[in-house]
Amino acid sequence: MFIFIRNNLFRLQNRKSLHQTRTIAISGDDNSNNNQLMIIVDDKQFTDIAKQVCNIIRYQPGWEKTILSEFPSPTLFHPNCILEIIKNQDNALLSYRFFQWLCSNDGFSPDSRCCNALFDVLVQAKASKVAQSFISSMDFVPEPSSLESFVLCLSEDGDVNEALKVLAQLTSCGHSPSLAVWNALLLASFQAGRTDIVWELYGEMMNFGMVADVDTVGCLIRSFCKDNKLPEAFELLRQVLGLGMVPDDIVFINLIAAFCKERNYTKVSQLLHLMIANNLVPSIVLYQEIIYWLCKNGMGNEGFRIFNQLKDRGYTPGIVLYTIMIDGLCKMRRMGMARKLWFEMICSGFHPDENTYNVLINGYSKIGNMEEAWTLWEEMINRGLRRTTPHYNTIITGFLMDGNMDKARELFEEMPKMEIRRDLVTYNTMVKGFCKLGKTNEALNLYHELLAIGLQPSAASYAPLIEAFCNLGEVQCAMDMWNDMLHRELKPIIHTHDHIIVAFCKQGNATESMNWLAMMLQNKLRPLRATFIEIIKCLMSNHLLDDALLILRSMFEMGYAPGNSVFYDLVDQLCKEKSDQSGVCLEGVLERF
């Protein structure tokens, strides 16, 4: 059970500046007399000097070589003057540069007040890397309050490892960090995908006697979702709402998205009712998430129903929701309705962006209407919208599906000229296209090119090449690609096994084809019906009828049935076997068929 809510109160030490008079002793240059010139400088004069120095630092190039000729070093090196310069300089990096120059002068030794002041302004300026370097070079320990600010800065930058080190530095000296610090680091750890650190930090936080607030719990709920512990996330949210605490909208969105991903729409409905029962109005972004997952999970019609209900209830869809719904309609091949929604969106004052164009181009590509897809592509360019790698991947895939390899290659070659990076999807798409057209050498060249530019191939990079080599009867080349794929610890696409089995069958290699089939079945992979038929043909040609019957039995168990020609050939060979066993087997086959 989580305990809520008690905010820690901090005691702030306010340092009041007193208008004081400073006496600075300057040694004389007279060798015969060791006299000292006494200069009286008050705080106001330090401020005036500091302002002059700040202007020089900002506007005068090469000031390091001349500044000592304009101000006496005892004044310039005085801690109070340095503090005033840091205070009045509005550029933290210029303050850092001035401090570095000070340290380069013989006899200068910065005190802790100056170091802390500079460290604070660097942290306030979000210059976390410079602040880290400063701590290391000066070998000083900032005040606990400064370190807390540093943890907040590092957390905001996503530098979780360094933030953890600073937190350990704080706690090791007995300081108890504030709740804001814990929450910031919890959130940064979650955003970095390190839920293990989230739970470890939460445990440490509890050991320090901290009391979690709604922000803490929101991060924990999201971490439960990321760890796929949805019952725990739901229960924690229910407890928080019961205590009158309302997490941010993003917490509800994460939890609803997680249940949608699991297709647990009962829980989604419960969440919505829970929100309404606690007088919370679900936002358009939350419904947007629901519609997105409905469309993604093949329930686009339900998503479209909710979309229309939202409009009827007064919600105003934005460009993101319109794009999601247009994409959902395209996935259902309801292009007429998608186009209608496109014009509705424009009439509502929302002009399609790059993503909206991409989903509609993809929709037309999928149904083979490349003329309309290309019209949209040119319209997007004429409107000055930015083309990206996903845009090119979409249109290239469309032309390949349409059999227009020349246009696909033209766009592929255009990408570097437009300074658009080709990614793995781009290369995989082209490799598949070349293999489909029987241009295996071109496909293999692209495979080697993607390796040369540092891309890591996926199973989808290998599958078309292995299939192409198998179709050409070059089984050894296919096996070389297969072994390279396994060496990279990639999980093969299921039907890659089928292509290799069929290739062995066409070579008459019954032993290898049987071994590969056994491997598929042991790994609970479902071979294609055609694979079974090819194996049976291979076994019959090798007069291995017992094995053929064994494969036929496996085929029946998977719900497949052989074609008439294969069945008749097998019966014919069994009839030629003049043995009682053959008769029994034949009877069994006839019963199943």
Which two structure tokens, joined as six digits, stand for 485? 């794929």
The answer, yes or no, to whether residue 26 has pLDDT greater than 70, is no
* Phi, psi (deg, nearest 5) at residue 509: -90, 85
Q: Is 60 among the domain residues?
A: yes
> What would the pLDDT profile of 313-349 be if each residue is shown by its tens digit?
999 999 999 999 999 999 999 999 999 999 999 999 9
Q: Is 91 among the domain residues?
A: yes
pLDDT band, residue 25 (cuts 50/70/90)? very low
> What would the pLDDT profile of 264-274 be if each residue is shown by its tens digit?
999 999 999 88
DSSP per residue, 215-246: HHHHHHHHHHHHTT-HHHHHHHHHHHHHTT--
The answer, yes or no, to whether residue 471 has pLDDT greater than 50, is yes
Q: Is 78 among the domain residues?
A: yes
Average pLDDT over residues 215-231: 95
Q: CA of 260: how far to CAs of 2, 122, 247, 265, 291, in Å?
A: 26, 44, 20, 6, 9
Of the segments 5-19, 114-128, 559-573, which one has the largest average pLDDT value? Answer: 114-128
pLDDT band, residue 588 (cuts 50/70/90)? low
Q: Is 193 among the domain residues?
A: no
As a whole number of angstroms, the distance between CA 254 and CA 242 comes to 19
The answer, yes or no, to whether residue 28 has pLDDT greater than 60, is no
Which two structure tokens, joined as six digits, stand for 141? 């320990």
Which two structure tokens, joined as six digits, stand for 197? 């650190």
Domain count, the chain: 1
Q: Is 85 among the domain residues?
A: yes
* Phi, psi (deg, nearest 5) at residue 487: -60, -30
pLDDT at 29: 44
> What would the pLDDT profile of 541-556 be if each residue is shown by its tens digit?
888 888 888 888 888 8
* Domain boundaries, position 81: 21-139
Q: Is 544 among the domain residues?
A: no
pLDDT band, residue 32 (cuts 50/70/90)? very low
As a whole number of angstroms, the distance between CA 345 and CA 303 comes to 17
pLDDT at 109: 83
Average pLDDT over residues 64-72: 85
Q: Look at the chain and count its residues.
A: 593
Contact by Cβ (8 Å): 233, 224:
yes
Percent of the chain predicted with pLDDT > 90 = 59
As a whole number of angstroms, the distance between CA 513 and CA 531 comes to 10
Q: Is 93 among the domain residues?
A: yes
Which two structure tokens, joined as six digits, stand for 300? 């686009």
What pTM was estimated for this model as a whole? 0.73
pLDDT at 391: 96
SS (H, E, C) 382-426: HCCCCCCHHHHHHHHHHHHHCCCHHHHHHHHHHHHHCCCCCCHHH
The answer, yes or no, to whether residue 121 has pLDDT greater than 60, is yes
pLDDT band, residue 31 (cuts 50/70/90)? very low
Q: Is 127 among the domain residues?
A: yes
Characterize 485-495 residue by residue with b for buried, 16 or more Cβ atoms within 10 angstroms of its Cβ, and e for exposed: beeeebebbee
As a whole number of angstroms, the distance between CA 432 and CA 283 comes to 43
6 Cβ contact list (under 8 Å, min separation 6):
211
Nearest by Cα to 142 from 160, 121, 126, 156: 121
The answer, yes or no, to whether residue 356 has pLDDT greater than 80, is yes
Average pLDDT over residues 373-381: 96
pLDDT at 264: 93
pLDDT at 8: 31
pLDDT at 258: 93
The answer, yes or no, to whether residue 7 has pLDDT greater than 90, is no
Average pLDDT over residues 15-23: 37
> What would the pLDDT profile of 195-212 be if each residue is shown by its tens digit?
999 999 999 999 988 889
pLDDT at 276: 86
The answer, yes or no, to whether residue 582 has pLDDT greater than 60, is no
As a whole number of angstroms, the distance between CA 390 and CA 376 comes to 15
* Phi, psi (deg, nearest 5) at residue 526: -100, 110
pLDDT at 578: 53
